[in-house]
Chains A and B, each alone.
Chain A
């Protein structure tokens, strides 16, 4: 008998998770975003893979529904790459849970992702992952405000110097 921790990736649990994901379609359909059953299953598998890959374990419903519902109203997604986009978001989420040393709650992290994605990244997942969230994670690790950006500070400083010159 083994007491090793394991992920509940058996058929029944996955099926339940898929049906929970599909339930979100009722809300996202208003934004013309719908997942097929196959895509929902793929998303659940991505979650299991990411958890294993990043050395995490999850109990309960998970964060897929939260991600779907939070990002439903973003102007930068269309049905065309919806499933692929969600898969990437789930992976990014778990990666940054580790990178922020679990100091951020699920809701806060998803909200930050949404804020930057819709804001400065203008729909670019690469910019979100490699620039904004990396900086945010570094700030969190250093105990700074997650929004702190020394680049903006130096820009402000340069502007102030320009004003002085004038």
Chain B
């Protein structure tokens, strides 16, 4: 029996930075004694000489001095280029051997050649991404693929700015790319995006659109990842042993999932999801090993989401039912005719001057005949939340649904578009709705989807 003896590496690869590979390698080698002080001094000296040469090329020999930040940028670019070459070597020992036995200028030249090849790799993945692009309304996704990489392929400058990423990337991946720079970052991002596209291509684009609309009606303006939601829904279907392609959940399905999963601890839940993911991979006949690895690697994140969804009884936000935003509403509600302005002004003046709330209620009961007037009065009436709740009690479910549709509680970021009175009314309505029994609330919320206010 032959046991091959492997040399113990002095340097811990985990301590090396992906973005600043060369610097971190030198640092580690120096600390661990793999690089003598004399050698490290030589490396520094040669790096500065390389910087001087590059600076002269940068100024085309017309200026003997440059601003410090420009020199720093050129230095970072040089070190990045050398790092790219060292990373392309089989292991850290080989990289150290090259640092010790090759002039820095040579390493830079080798790195420069590797960089050129890497741009071709980036181009390859970009073409794959474009070919596998998903038909979706998500703006961030579309603009990142259509426009975001143009600056990179048009103006990526490998002589003096190799470490920069001249691109406008808005779309977020399941696993964000970190610890990489320049062309390496772009390659990794495009590679991952290609795997995500590949997974989504197993499902119908219209169904994905409906899933995302179920996730959020305004998903086209969000920066959320599409593949993550599709994968989550697919996992849910797999757990239910339901067909995968529809990616659909009925309330009964969600109850079933809740019952099935709620007793698991997080680690057990992850095991369940991993089994489901492996079955899913088999069922969909996914063959790309990188895609499989990528999906499995995203399970801890998804497990945390599912676990939270179970704990907060909001599994419908994790395994989202599909929603088709193009389905026309089947109820048309007329808000009614508003009373004349003069009469309304007199009414509001009287309403505001009332000392007791009973008097205000009496005014409402006597004079308010349409929901249009009621809405105006609720905004103008300056009501406390308890008073507003008593007014809301006078309304039918459909009227509450209409008000909810017209006055959803907007997050603070949108609050600037509304007056203080409108925001107060939205808050009062939201508080009232939250206090309703769950069944009635669900009924009202389902009405909001079917209603169109005319």
Contacts and interface: CB of A to CB of B under 8 A. Distances in A.
A1 B63 contact: no
A60 B64 contact: yes
The 5 closest A-B pairs by CB, nearest first: A105-B62, A59-B52, A58-B65, A57-B71, A56-B65
Given A1-B30, A3-B47, A5-B72, A106 B64 contact: yes
A3 B62 contact: no
Given A1-B40, A3-B75, A102 B66 contact: yes
A107 B66 contact: no
B66 A1 contact: no
A5 B68 contact: yes
B239 interface: no
B79 to A, nearest CB: 7
B68 A58 contact: no
Contacts of B79: 3
Nearest to A54: B67
Given A55-B68, A60-B52, A3 B63 contact: no
Interface string A97-118: 1100010011100000000000
Contacts of B52: 59-60
B63 A59 contact: no
A3 B59 CA distance: 22
A163 B68 CA distance: 53
A62 interface: yes
A42 to B, nearest CB: 19
B56 interface: yes
A61 B52 CA distance: 11
B55 interface: yes
A63 B62 CA distance: 11
Interface residues of B, number: 25
Interface string A75-116: 000000000000000000010011000100111000000000
A51 interface: yes
A58 B64 contact: yes
A3 to B, nearest CB: 6
Contacts of A5: 51, 68, 71-72, 75
A3 B44 contact: yes
Contacts of A1: 26-27, 30, 40, 44
26 contacts: A1-B26, A1-B40, A3-B23, A3-B47, A3-B79, A5-B68, A5-B71, A5-B72, A55-B67, A55-B68, A56-B67, A56-B68, A57-B65, A57-B67, A57-B68, A57-B71, A59-B52, A59-B56, A60-B52, A94-B65, A97-B65, A102-B59, A102-B63, A102-B66, A105-B59, A106-B63
B14 interface: no
Contact of B62 (A57, A61, A107): A107
Nearest to A58: B65
B69 interface: yes
A154 to B, nearest CB: 34
Contacts of B55: 59
A57 B66 contact: yes
Contacts of B63: 97, 102, 105-106
Nearest to B43: A1
A97 to B, nearest CB: 7
